[in-house]
């Protein structure tokens, strides 16, 4: 993600547990551990990108080192809190394993935790994207974790917990960070809009949030992209789509409606009309597949809605459930398969829309 798109994310990054949004369960357990003095020495924070793993790690690091803690909350004013907030605490070591994945980095980590902390009570080691460490580096890390000095706390963060070796993850207290729902992201973005004097229509904000797929950091980065275009007039969904380069998911929803109602002619005409308006058929096809997959999962169980569409609005969720009820399960699976085939064939086809048309005709039968 481009650095200059992270300005809002940094500016509005929470400094206390009370300002941390979503992940209530994680926050509750961690705050309880801190206030009762029963913290672990290794944590594994796993889950979707931009859902607060490293932010939580930093607040945690601050809280356990705070000289004037109130319950579990860091004061943000004592010298320890200030050092961490200003990014100059030498006892807080943050490593991004995605770009520092080798054995040398872990060796230097080992060096840096050999001595007791110089200023803080604990040395806290935050290892982001921990699953990306090389094999050698992972083994070296394991060695350190097997006999850690008492003053060290490890916080490993990963988007792919399944790639962590069991000998490491079994040493950690594990927390899962889930995708954030629409309302939570909306609440945070509204605060930012107000403070930054960004005017945006409700539809436009909904669209931006949906495109962030449950990641607050992504949503904030997208909001950041709008800033250069701020005027007195509120952003419309058209503006947002254009500035962020978003495809219009509504097109996929409309097409799926026609497929659900077996409106073959209408569907073919719809594709052709939109191509005349400049629709990129490959984009459209993958968007349709992505959306139809959600419909299929909802067909299996409507209670999956919050997993399948975490960041959609209530209306979009209702619409999707309604559509899933129009399909038979078998036909849905078949249509998806045919569209996936079409996706592979599109790049070789001299008539770009032909594979998609064939898929639709076959899936709707006679």
The contact set with Zn ion (CB under 5 A) reads 66, 68, 74-75, 78, 81
For residue 59, the minimal CB distance to Zn ion (Å) is 11
Coil, strand or helix: which one is 321? Answer: helix
Least separation in angstroms between CB 62 and Zn ion: 7
Q: How far apart are CA 340 and CA 334, in angstroms?
A: 10
Q: How far apart are CA 366 and CA 347, in angstroms?
A: 27
Q: Give whichever of 72 and 189 is closer to Zn ion, judged by the CB atom.
A: 72
CB of 204 to Zn ion, least distance (A): 39
Q: What is the DSSP letter of 178?
A: P
SS3 at position 32: helix
CA 235 to chain CA mean position, Å: 24
User: In a 10 Å sphere around its CB, with 0-12 CB exposed, 13-18 middle and 19+ buried, how is residue 61 labelled?
Assistant: buried
Q: What is the smallest separation between the CB atom of 81 and Zn ion, expressed in angstroms?
A: 3
* CA end-to-end distance (rounded Å), the chain: 47
* Minimum CB distance to Zn ion smaller for 63 or for 256: 63
Residue 67 or 282 with smaller CB distance to Zn ion: 67
Which lies closer to Zn ion via its Cβ, residue 25 or residue 67?
A: 67
Q: Are strands 123-128 and 152-158 parallel, antiparallel or unpaired?
A: parallel
Give the residue with the Cβ less far from Zn ion, 63 or 359.
Answer: 63
Q: Are 54 and 13 in contact (CB under 8 A)?
A: no
Q: Considering the complex, state which of residue 75 and residue 253 has its C-beta at the smaller distance from Zn ion.
A: 75
> What is the smallest separation between the CB atom of 148 and Zn ion, expressed in angstroms?
24
Nearest approach, Cβ of 80 to Zn ion (angstroms)?
A: 5
Q: Rounded to an integer, what distance in angstroms lies between the CA atom of residue 216 and that of residue 182?
A: 10
Q: Give whichever of 66 and 336 is closer to Zn ion, judged by the CB atom.
A: 66
For residues 8-34, one letter each, b for 16 or more C-beta atoms within 10 angstroms of the residue's C-beta and e for the rest, the string is bbeebbebbbeebbbbeebbeebbebb
DSSP per residue over 216-271, as a string? HHHHHHHHHHHHTT--SSPBPHHHHHHHHT---HHHHHHHHHHHHTT-HHHHHHHH
Q: How far is the CB of 21 from Zn ion (least distance, A)?
A: 22
Three-state SS for 283?
Answer: helix
**In the complex, minimum distance from the CB of residue 118 to Zn ion, in angstroms, rounded to a whole number:** 17
Q: Please, which residue, 50 or 117, has the CB nearer to Zn ion?
A: 117
Q: CB 2 → Zn ion: shortest distance, Å?
A: 33
Q: Please list, in sequence order, all residues whose beta carbon lies within 8 angstroms of the beta carbon of residue 47, skipping any fewer than 6 positions away.
A: 53, 159, 161, 176, 177, 178, 179
């Amino acid at each position: 993600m481009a650095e200059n798109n992270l300005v809002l994310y940094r500016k509005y990054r929470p400094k206390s547990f009370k300002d941390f949004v979503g992940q209530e369960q994680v926050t509750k357990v961690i705050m309880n551990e801190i206030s009762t003095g029963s913290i672990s020495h290794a944590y594994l924070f796993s889950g979707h990108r931009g859902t607060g793993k490293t932010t939580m790690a930093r607040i945690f690091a601050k809280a356990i080192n705070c000289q004037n803690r109130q319950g579990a909350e860091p004061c943000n004013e004592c010298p320890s809190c200030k050092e961490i907030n200003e990014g100059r605490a030498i006892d807080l070591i943050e490593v991004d394993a995605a770009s520092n994945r080798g054995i040398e980095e872990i060796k230097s980590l080992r060096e840096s935790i050999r001595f007791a902390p110089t200023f803080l009570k604990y040395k806290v080691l935050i290892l982001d994207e921990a699953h990306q460490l090389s094999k050698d580096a992972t083994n070296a890390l394991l060695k350190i974790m097997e006999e850690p000095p008492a003053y060290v706390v490890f916080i490993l963060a990963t988007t792919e917990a399944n790639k962590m070796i069991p000998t490491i993850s079994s040493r950690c207290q594990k927390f899962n960070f889930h995708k954030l729902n629409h309302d939570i992201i909306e609440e945070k973005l509204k605060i930012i809009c107000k403070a930054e004097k960004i005017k945006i229509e409700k539809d436009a904000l909904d669209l931006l949030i949906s495109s962030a797929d449950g990641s607050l950091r992504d949503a904030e980065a997208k909001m950041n992209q709008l800033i250069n275009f701020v005027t007195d007039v509120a952003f419309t969904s058209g503006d947002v789509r254009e500035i962020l380069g978003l495809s219009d998911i509504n097109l996929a929803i409309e097409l799926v409606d026609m497929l659900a109602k077996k409106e073959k002619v209408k569907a073919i005409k719809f594709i052709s009309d939109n191509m005349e308006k400049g629709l990129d058929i490959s984009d459209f096809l993958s968007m349709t597949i992505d959306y139809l997959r959600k419909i299929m999962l909802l067909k299996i169980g409507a209670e999956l809605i919050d997993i399948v569409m975490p960041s959609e609005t209530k209306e979009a969720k209702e619409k999707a459930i309604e559509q899933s009820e129009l399909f038979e399960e078998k036909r849905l699976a078949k249509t998806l398969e045919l569209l996936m085939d079409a996706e592979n064939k599109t790049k070789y086809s001299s008539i770009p829309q032909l594979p998609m048309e064939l898929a639709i005709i076959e899936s709707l039968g006679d």
